[in-house]
Amino acid sequence: MQFRFGWPGRGLNFAGRAVLIVAAALPGWVAGQTERNPPLRFGSVNSLSGPAVFPESSAAVRAYFESVNADGGIRGQRLELMVEDDKGNPAEARAAARRLVEKHGVLAMVGSASIVDCASNAGLYRSANLMSLQGTGVEPECFASSHVVPVNTGPYLSVRNALQFARETLKSTRPCAIILDIPGTRAAFDDVLQGWSLESGVAVVHVERFGPGADVEALVRQVEAKRCDAVVHTGVEPMVLEWVRTVQRLGVLARVPTIFLTPAYTQNVATELSATRLPIYCMAEFDPWSSRSLSLTHWRTMMQRSRVPPSSFSQGGYVSAQLLVRALRSIKGDITRDSVGAALRSVEDVELTMLGSRLSIGSNTRHNPNRATLPMKLDQGAWRIASAFWVVAP
């Protein structure tokens, strides 16, 4: 008995089909297929080791790419992500970007999350006409480049939005700012603080900068002495915990709210500070990952399947990948570095899941398209939404 299969132009018995299956597995056949249908290759420069690490963003991009590839990729071409670790070092960041741009010929960067990438590589991306969708933009250069587009709100507009929340919702008239002094960021924070004071007519009565190893007790005492009625604090997670524990130990500022930025918005902070009754807030840059919002369903399922921790960083990676894939699907001709860049620059007034405002890119010399943050409040070990409305910078 022969088994016949409806393949075009011939009927094959079982043995004949087996021959084709074996042939299909031969390296030469696979190489031929790869040449005819090569992957679409993208890069990501991340601080995966060093003083500050952001592994979730690129992991979220990879999870998104795997989902797209499972559905056939883009026009049958698989999406490939090449991730480089810059180790938080500018020289390593420059070398990593050059490998991706010049050796591997990536079409764009997506989901990069680094403390040195933008300052080190914005010029390279511009000269190569390559767009970089940052999952997490930190440096001022991330928001002041023609070819770098962060999808997160970023620390500068988040400070501005936190001050607005303090004034309009918490009724603060004497806000203070405690600013983590990362090299290269001072002028950007100064511009935001001065601009907000002019815009609102409310002075920031005390600004203090600090670095790792700072005397936190002295910082707390300064806030107490200045009679601040709200504090905006830009520290990362360990500094958030140290600030709150110091305030508790000293027994001061019991009614003074502290508003942290998105690095505080973690399950670890909520768990570690579950017993505090201090008024603690933070500014979420995306639809809150700890909420039950239906807009998070696809992201949450994808992150759980790929074992990527839920955080603002993995949200940034997801959104950057989502934006890239939308752009890729809009391209009519060949998918090249130039056509990908043109498709991204043509993004105008689009609505993406998890963003609190519509997003446009355009051919600007600087980009900060996500301008919204949502205030969250710590309540007995859980982050809860503190405002019915997003705070959106003009």
For residue 245, give the amino acid letter: R
8 A C-beta contact, residue 373 and residue 391 = yes
Spell out the domain ranges in the chain.
40-154+291-363, 155-284+374-392
pLDDT at residue 52, as a whole number: 79
Report the predicted TM-score, pTM, of the whole model to 2 decimal places.
0.86
Task: Report which secondary-structure segment, H or E, holds 185.
Answer: none
Average pLDDT over residues 215-243: 97
Q: What is the 3-state secondary structure (H, E, C) of 60-123?
A: HHHHHHHHHHHCCCECCECEEEEEEECCCCHHHHHHHHHHHHHHCCCCCEEEEECCCHHHHHHH
Q: First CA to last CA across the chain, in angstroms?
A: 75
Q: Cα dihedral sign for 341, 108, 113, 77?
A: positive
CA–CA dist 283, 286 (Å, integer): 9
CATH class of 155-284+374-392: alpha beta
CA–CA dist 186, 41 (Å, integer): 36
pLDDT in tens, 106-123: 999 999 999 999 999 999
190/12: higher pLDDT: 190
CA dist list (Å): 115 to 106, 135, 185: 21, 12, 11
Q: Cα dihedral sign for 198, 200, 205, 209?
A: negative
pLDDT at residue 7, as a whole number: 30
Give the pLDDT band (50/70/90) at residue 376: very high
CA dist list (Å): 380 to 263, 274, 290, 377, 387: 19, 5, 14, 10, 18
For domain 40-154+291-363, which architecture applies? 3-Layer(aba) Sandwich (3.40)
- Range with the poorest average pLDDT among 17-26, 241-250, 263-272, 358-367: 17-26
Is the pLDDT at 133 greater than 60, yes or no? yes
Is the pLDDT at 26 greater than 70, yes or no? no
pLDDT at residue 253, as a whole number: 97
Domain 40-154+291-363 shares a fold with domain 155-284+374-392: yes
Q: What is residue 392's three-state secondary structure?
A: strand
Average pLDDT over residues 247-276: 96
pLDDT at residue 6, as a whole number: 31
pLDDT > 70: percent of the chain? 91
Give the pLDDT band (50/70/90) at residue 54: confident
pLDDT at residue 36, as a whole number: 67
